[in-house]
Copies of this chain bind each other. A is one copy, B any other.
């Protein structure tokens, strides 16, 4: 004699939640966390503003989830590249290339993940994200040191330098100002830029001229 949550409703709610997440993701990918508005996301997802708050405690919570999601994708790709065949330098180079190319293809999101200032809860996710990268690269560098293809060094510190060198190389030329004033289809040739960055990174790592 009353309403009882049924499978159908569970699914419908899950779909709404998914739609909200997806639209929030798009908003962030388009112009960063700072300019993503709750009302805009709601409109995009075809729900009322208040509905967002039935699925998430707050904007921060929603954004933390978006961040986690975006992050996971990137980290997975890098981990994948790192787990292929070859010695550590080869695998590291492949991973760095993956990292750089993906960031170049989605510069706004890349910037948001790397450098945009965010609320505490989101910043917490970022810490985990940096950690994840640092650990992945650090592990590969350490393996390289053991293998002997990379000279002894502070693996964690070098890992940080790698991320920094790449990030700066992307954040600069692909900052909003640069990105906006560009033709629609993003089919630039990234090869030279990426190669140039990678040479610097690999030399920094190995101390050997490429």
Residues of chain A touching chain B, judged by Cβ–Cβ distance below 8 Å, are 32, 34, 115-117, 123, 127, 130, 151, 153-154, 157-158, 160-169, 171-172, 177, 193, 196-197, 199-201, 203-210
Contact = CB atoms under 8 A, between A and B. Distances in A.
A167 B210 CA distance: 25
A173 to B, nearest CB: 8
Contact of A163 (B123, B153, B168, B177): B168
B160 A168 contact: yes
B154 A196 contact: yes
25 contacts: A115-B117, A115-B171, A117-B117, A157-B169, A157-B200, A160-B168, A160-B169, A160-B172, A161-B169, A161-B201, A163-B168, A164-B164, A164-B165, A164-B166, A164-B167, A164-B168, A165-B165, A165-B204, A200-B204, A200-B205, A203-B203, A203-B204, A203-B206, A203-B207, A207-B208
A174 B37 CA distance: 30
A127 B127 CA distance: 28
Contacts of A210: 207
Contacts of A167: 164, 168
A88 B161 CA distance: 22
